[in-house]
Amino acid sequence: MFQGFSEETIQFLWGVTLNNERSWFQAHKQEYLNHLYRPMQELGRAVYDEMLARHPELEVNLKVTRIYRDARRLHNGGPYKDHLWLSLERPHDQGEWHGIPALWFEIRATGYEYGLGYWGTPRDMEVYRRRIQRDPATLEKLVRAFNRQDTFRLSGECYKKSKGSTTALLEPWYNRKYLSFTCAREPDELLFSPSLVPALLEGFELLLPLYHYFDQLRLEPPVTDRIL
């Protein structure tokens, strides 16, 4: 049962951030298991079980990352991640995560974040734009609801060259390479409390209509012509 993360969690994350090498990690591996990985598993399971109890139609798997980095990418840093995350996302083959929305939680030494992300390929994002052009009203309704809350913020890198225009309401959402809806916090009492579970559930419930919107993009006609 999830009881919250702890000061030891943050201390370990600072440690691996500043000492990203095998000898340090091996000396602190039990701290990783006790204070980071196992609490993350417990948090993920609690959130996942309750989300499926509330929404049995939701076709998602729980994924909890491990700290070991892909050996093929070690040229950019040490062998360990300096942050861990969990996600709820539609089942997919390993490595085929583009175009699949994910509800997620992430923790690092400086704080934690949670929210919804949609990271598509250029063709996925073109499907998204064409859906907006065909039916702006559906997303406009979701955007109005999103704009009434103050927990999450819209982010995502924009294209340097505009991909087109849409309504004034949807303009901030249109020309992005990906979209993320994020709540970012510094380490606080919530992080160290079992109350993190209901807080994540409340946030994920708020984002669920957007999750469904992006998930349903897979039912749109694929883009087969050249993308400008």
Q: What are phi and psi of 123, to 5 degrees?
A: -70, -35
pLDDT in tens, the chain (228 residues): 999 999 999 999 999 999 999 999 999 999 999 999 999 999 999 999 999 999 999 999 999 999 998 766 555 678 999 999 999 999 988 777 788 999 999 999 999 999 999 999 999 999 999 999 999 999 999 999 999 999 999 999 999 999 999 999 999 999 999 999 999 999 999 999 999 999 999 999 999 999 999 999 999 988 888 766
Q: What 3-state DSSP class applies to 197?
A: helix
In CATH, the architecture of 7-219 is 2-Layer Sandwich (3.30)
Q: CA 87, CA 131: separation in Å to the nearest integer?
A: 26
pTM comes to: 0.94
Q: CA 16, CA 21: separation in Å to the nearest integer?
A: 8
Tokens of 36: 């980071």
Q: Which residue has the tokens 């702006």?
A: 136
Domain-by-domain residue ranges, the chain? 7-219
Q: What is the pLDDT of residue 225?
A: 80
Helices (H), the chain: 7-18, 22-27, 29-32, 38-54, 122-134, 136-147, 171-174, 196-215
Q: CA 225, CA 209: separation in Å to the nearest integer?
A: 30
SS3 content of the chain, % helix, strand, coil (to 5): 45, 20, 35
